[in-house]
Structure 1
Amino acid sequence: MNTTSHTATPLFTTPDTVTRKMGKFTLRYRPYTLTLKHVFTIAAGSRSTTPVVLVELEYDGVAGYGEASMPPYLGESHESVLAFLNRVDLTAFSDPFLTEDILTYIDSLAMKNTAAKASIDIALHDLLGKLMGQSLHRIWGYNPKTTPDTTLTIGIDTPEIVRQKVREADSFKILKVKLGLDTDKLMIETIREVTDKPLCVDANQGWKKREEALEMAHWLAERGVIFLEQPMPKEQVDDNAWLTAHSPIPTVGDEAVQRLSDIRSAHGVYSGINIKLMKCTGLREAHKMAELARALDMKVMLGCMTETSCAISAAAQLSPVVDWADLDGALLISNDVYQGMTVERGKVVLPDRPGIGIAFC
């Protein structure tokens, strides 16, 4: 175990960094704003930035790193995450390996705040891997050679920009297309002018009528779409189940499947689930979600928000055991502060470093 006194990195010595000593732990965190390379448009709206909070958790001279990313639909903000982290008190814990105790306590602090909880969870898992000198995927016994290809997301845009985005994604083997507006067919037809690669689509709850959704599913299947993510509002449970039963391609629940407790109710409604660390409070629960979905014979997709390579590399540790990956969040931003998981010829490549495998840029 490393007993050398840890000095916070320059990333955590800024004027807006909060530093709190709590027994054997020191927690540091600061707000940060990610800048997107392109304006990102989905059925619910457009944005060019995403607020995040960066976290450092130190124990015995070793530091783990985490992150909370807050896209609009999570209902979190810099203020809400900082307020949550200000409530965290790890003084009662002296052993970082008691993850169930620590993370159960973290989860008990509020009903929601899942991204804030994920920032602690990721930092703790990164810390444990470093204390053990092993990457998380090795600790879990996963084979890094079995990682899937990851999609690159093409947001809703003008035909000219869509063509540009598709050309920029030349090294990727599969693309994810945002739909859910009245331009859906134009989006797919524009992409098909440039490439015949397999596609998956995410309607982000944008379709409202099941008959029209089924018609679109058949139309999309004929154009090389391999699965359909969150086609209709999550509240339309019966409609989504009907669509899944009749669709020529699998359906995946995203907004409808936030945490472990949502999976059983999603069974039979969707063909699979999309696991995201920011929805489910982090790696501990994500790991359990993947195992339960497998036990129920459901497909497993591993997704992300707009994030730095910290949260992306953390999620990637689970990628060897999923069917599909959508881990492009760090590739969509222009101001990443870490390096970690990479993509080579479209395939997720796990870094050979302890913990979640990140280093500073």
Structure 2
Amino acid sequence: MSTRRDFIKNTGLLMGTSLLADPEALYAAEKQKMSGNGRLKLRFRPYTLNLKHAFNLATSSRTTTPVVLTELEYEGTIGYGEASMPPYLGESHETVSRFLSKLDLSKFDDPFQMENILDYVDHIEPGNRAAKASIDIALHDLVGKLIKQPWYKIWGYDSSITPVTSYTIGIDTADVVRQKVKEAEPYKILKVKLGRDTDKMMIETIRQVTDKPLCVDVNQGWKDRSFALDMANWLHERGVVFIEQAMPKEQVDDNAWLTEHSPIPTIGDESVQRLDDVLKAHKVYSGINIKLMKCTGMREAHKMLTLGRALGMKIMMGCMTETSCAISAASQLSPMVDWADLDGALLISNDVYRGTEVINGKVTLSKLPGIGIKKI
């Protein structure tokens, strides 16, 4: 046991550096504990998340979210993953199941060859980012379990410096908004959905109930940059700490102008999907919102975080409505971010895992290996 601990410690748990830069070295360390003739086995099933409240955005409303739950098994060890498909991703139970059915992961007999496996998955066909994330998360969970370490430790992160998470208040009537705010009492910061003609009512109603810091997500709902700046100034005066995706992602110059003049930071969300988008977002937004379902999973999220930090950008770790599986996977990166919006599992009534918890508003990582979850 001490030999393994020394190996993991001395392999270089450096800030922002993955142990898996040399997967062959890791595999050699653990190979003696494996029987050696295993193959990766993939299983998946559709599931539907039920939301505690209707989720109302600038342009849509829903009460459920489709997900697909995945399992990757190797030599009796199982890693868990998840694809969550809110409407704007353009994925569904059918598309994810069809994509996963195309994969032949049984060709891989070494789960530590993560780059090879995930490159294979990514190049089966374009798009399908949530489907790809479900494999990435399950593979990270599996390998972490084989190493017997959680991923925040593999990446060298300090679990004591995780941020608080925001709690989302969707667009609704004043009475329902007040009810939601009261339900969110344990949380230190609230994320408010805006983008309709009720924006000021939403903020004023919340301010009748609490003086907690707020952040707002406009979901591309504002179209005019002068209006957006007026709102930014008005929100700043009312304790809002940042604005997420104020205007449509296609309005690059307008978003850059707003960032230059806004008294509070701007965050790119819909405009920042994968690694290539991070450099494009530099100087257009103050920061980026990384979500596993947008970027194909933990591998690419880790790269996006590293690049964003190198560019001096603010980093937000976000989520969809998800089970504790995907939330716990994203939480492994949380010690390195400025803000976290990892409340997705708190918004549903039928979670199937237990993992990362929110204690006194703070993201609190599990000590379990892999992504840190177990089935309920």
2:369 is the counterpart of 1:357: no
Deviations 1:51-75 (A, max 9, x none): 0000000001100000000000000
| Corresponding residue of 1:40 | 55
Distance 1:337 1:185 in 2: 37
2:238 is the counterpart of 1:262: no
| Corresponding residue of 1:11 | none
| Corresponding residue of 1:168 | 183
Shift of 1:92: 2.6
| Corresponding residue of 1:15 | none
Q: SS at 1:193's partner residue?
A: helix
* Preserved CA contact (<8 Å) 1:23 1:92: no
* Preserved CA contact (<8 Å) 2:41 2:106: no
Match of 1:81 among 96, 116, 130: 96
* Preserved CA contact (<8 Å) 1:273 1:300: yes
| Corresponding residue of 2:328 | 313
Amino acid at match of 2:262: S
Shift of 1:91: 2.9
- Unaligned runs of 5+ residues in structure 2 are 1-29
Distance 1:63 1:23 in 2: 13
Match of 1:215 among 218, 221, 230: 230
| Corresponding residue of 1:19 | none
Match of 2:343 among 328, 353, 356: 328
Q: SS at 1:264's partner residue?
A: helix
Shift of 1:360: 1.1
Within a 5 Å distance, the mapping from 1:254-293 to structure 2 comes to: 254-293=269-308
2:135 is the counterpart of 1:92: no
Q: SS at 1:252's partner residue?
A: strand
Amino acid at match of 2:296: T
Deviations 1:2-39 (A, max 9, x none): 769xxxxxxxxxxxxxxxxx971111100000000000
Shift of 1:309: 0.2
Q: SS at 1:355's partner residue?
A: coil
Match of 2:267 among 249, 252, 265: 252
* Preserved CA contact (<8 Å) 2:323 2:352: yes
Amino acid at match of 2:355: G
Shift of 1:329: 0.2
Q: SS at 1:177's partner residue?
A: strand
Distance 1:187 1:345 in 2: 25
| Corresponding residue of 1:7 | none
Distance 1:345 1:357 in 2: 20
Distance 2:68 2:76 in 1: 22
| Corresponding residue of 1:123 | 138
| Corresponding residue of 1:229 | 244
RMSD value, Cα: 1.2
Amino acid at match of 1:258: Q
| Corresponding residue of 1:348 | 363
Match of 2:354 among 336, 339, 355: 339
Shift of 1:94: 1.4
Match of 1:198 among 213, 220, 239: 213
Amino acid at match of 1:232: M
* Preserved CA contact (<8 Å) 1:23 1:90: no
Distance 2:214 2:41 in 1: 44
More helix by share: 2
| Corresponding residue of 2:160 | 145
Amino acid at match of 2:231: M
Deviations 1:108-160 (A, max 9, x none): 01110000000000000000000000000011110000100000000000101
Q: SS at 1:181's partner residue?
A: coil
What is the total number of aligned residue pairs between the two structures? 344
Q: SS at 1:356's partner residue?
A: coil
Match of 1:70 among 85, 103, 111: 85
Amino acid at match of 2:90: G
Q: SS at 2:366's partner residue?
A: coil
Amino acid at match of 1:203: V
Amino acid at match of 2:295: C
Amino acid at match of 2:274: R
2:121 is the counterpart of 1:106: yes
Q: SS at 2:368's partner residue?
A: coil
Amino acid at match of 2:306: E
Q: SS at 2:125's partner residue?
A: coil
Distance 1:89 1:226 in 2: 46
| Corresponding residue of 1:17 | none
Shift of 1:254: 0.1
| Corresponding residue of 2:74 | 59
- Unaligned runs of 5+ residues in structure 1 are 5-21
Amino acid at match of 1:75: G
* Preserved CA contact (<8 Å) 2:323 2:351: yes
Shift of 1:44: 1.6
Amino acid at match of 1:169: A
* Preserved CA contact (<8 Å) 2:40 2:107: no
- Normalising by structure 1, report the TM-score: 0.94
- Normalising by structure 2, report the TM-score: 0.90
